Amino acid sequence: MEGSKRRARYVLKRLIQAVPIVLAIVVLNFFLLQLAEGDAVDVLAGEAGSATPEYMAELREKFGLDKPLIVQLGVYLKNVVTLDLGYSFRHDMPVSQLVFDRFIPTLLLMTSTIFLAVGLGIVLGLVAASGLNTWRDTAISIFALITYATPLFWVGLMLIVVFSLNLGWFPTSGMEDFAMFYEGWDRVVDIAHHLVLPTITLSLFYLALYTRLMRASMLEQAGQDYVTTARAKGLTERRIVFVHVLRNALLPVVTMAGVQVGALIGGSVIVESVFAWPGLGMLAFEALFARDLNLLLGIFLLSAVLVVAVNLVVDIIYSTLDPRIEMA
């Protein structure tokens, strides 16, 4: 009872601390984005062909781009405080709706990638560490090195060439079959089918990291005194590895995963671009080139909030994994 109360107080404290951080990020991003030349009106008018200066002035007025910078920032902050992320004039939609629509595919890709990369990384690291300097260890290390060093877009394109064009097992791109528009369970299966290649591509990169980390962490723990003690008690190797070493070795992996979840939320521009996956990364990328600042700020804000939240969750997982770590 005492523990859970303390935990709640801790969470609350962390959340309150997060507010100024997030606000600072918003203000910083706002000014950073002003450094880019040209604005949304330039891009819209440029795409349209010929537009009159009057029309462009009118657009600037409509978008609020004619106001002094500090007023624009004030308006934006006021909106953010009331949970209004503003309006994307380019997409003619509220930013919150745009971001939410693209957040779900990102979440799908991110979750499956994290599970695959962390899960398989732990297993491979474990296998490599327990067979130190055997052929298994060497093979796994080489595999990790190659996947880490290969550029993502190339892996993606090669997977498309092999598994889509040559074997025909998976579709090349997209999230659904747009000729058919499946519904219900068929749709779920269809989306899962489309998810396979992007997940593998993105996982391969992170997989290498977790494998290396897990292997190093396992080796480090194996030399600790408590392992010697356990062995002296006469425990089986299996029990030592799975009950004692593994649990301790997982801590750095969890830290790493926490940091990377944050990075993955921003989406992966490369994987989304290669597989035409409709995630946040592409949205942010396009928004940058369209100078759609409201939208960009919205995405940044969401990422900032999520990074803060994920870090909090990681800290809580930490204390569960290792009761010695207390929350204060």
Partner 1 sequence: MNFKALLMGATWAIGLALSPITAIAQNSGGNLVYLVQPEPPSLASFLSTSGPIGLVAPKIYDGLFDYDTDLQIVPSLAESYEVSEDGKTVTFKLRQGVVWHDGAPFTSADVAFTVMDVLKQVHPRGPNSFREVTSIDTPDDYTAVFNLENPAPYMLRALSVYESPMVPKHLLEGQDPRNSDLATNPVGTGPFRFVEWRKGQYIRLDKNENYWKPGLPLLDRIVGRFIPDASTRTAAMENGEVMYGAYGAIPNIDAVRLREMDGFSVTTDGYAMINPMALIEFNTTKPPFDNPAMRRAVSLVMDRQFLIDNIWFGYGKPATSALSSNFDKVGLYRSGLPNYPATGDLEAAIKELDDAGIMPDADGVRASITLDLIPYGEDWRRAGEYMKQAMKPLGIEVELRYEDVPTWLNRIYAEYDFEMNVNYFYQLPDPVLGVHRHYGTDQIRQGTHFVNSSRYSNPELDALLAAGAQEPDATKRAEIYGEIQEILATDMPVANLFEMEFLTVYNDKLADHATSAMGAYGPFENASITE
Give residues in contact with partner 1 (CB under 8 A).
36-39, 42-53, 55-56, 58-59, 62, 90-93, 98, 101-102, 105, 153, 157, 160-161, 164-165, 168, 171-176, 178-181, 272-276, 278-279, 282-283, 286, 289-291
Shortest reach from residue 84's CB to partner 1, in Å = 19
Q: Which is nearer to partner 1, 123 or 288 (CB)?
A: 288
String of DSSP letters for 53-121: HHHHHHHHHHHTTTS-HHHHHHHHHHHHHTT---EETTTTEEHHHHHHHHHHHHHHHHHHHHHHHHHHH
C-alpha 83/C-alpha 96 separation (Å) is 9
Q: Which is nearer to partner 1, 95 or 249 (CB)?
A: 95
Shortest reach from residue 72's CB to partner 1, in Å = 17
Shortest reach from residue 26's CB to partner 1, in Å = 22
12's CB contacts (< 8 A; 6+ apart) are none
C-alpha 284/C-alpha 299 separation (Å) is 7
Q: Which is nearer to partner 1, 143 or 163 (CB)?
A: 163
Using the Cα atoms of residue 307, residue 308, residue 309 and residue 314 in order, give the sign of their dihedral: positive
Alpha carbon separation from 88 to 39, 96, 277, 291 (Å, rounded): 13, 9, 21, 10
Contact indicator for 193, 182 with CB cutoff of 8 Å: no
Shortest reach from residue 285's CB to partner 1, in Å = 8
300's CB contacts (< 8 A; 6+ apart) are 25, 26, 29, 284
Shortest reach from residue 327's CB to partner 1, in Å = 39
Q: Which is nearer to partner 1, 47 or 84 (CB)?
A: 47
Q: Which is nearer to partner 1, 102 or 215 (CB)?
A: 102
Q: Tally the residues of the chain.
A: 328
Shortest reach from residue 278's CB to partner 1, in Å = 3
Q: Which is nearer to partner 1, 110 or 175 (CB)?
A: 175
Question: For residue 311, which amino acid is it?
Answer: N
C-alpha 167/C-alpha 162 separation (Å) is 6
Shortest reach from residue 180's CB to partner 1, in Å = 8
Q: Which is nearer to partner 1, 75 or 162 (CB)?
A: 162
Query: Which residues, listed in sequence order, are joined to residue 88 by a DSSP beta bridge?
Result: 93
Shortest reach from residue 140's CB to partner 1, in Å = 31
Shortest reach from residue 88's CB to partner 1, in Å = 10
Four-CA torsion 116, 121, 124, 128, nearest 10 degrees: 180
C-alpha 19/C-alpha 138 separation (Å) is 47
Q: Which is nearer to partner 1, 10 or 285 (CB)?
A: 285
Contact indicator for 310, 258 with CB cutoff of 8 Å: yes
Query: Which residues, listed in sequence order, are joined to residue 94 by a DSSP beta bridge?
Result: 87
Q: Which is nearer to partner 1, 125 or 171 (CB)?
A: 171
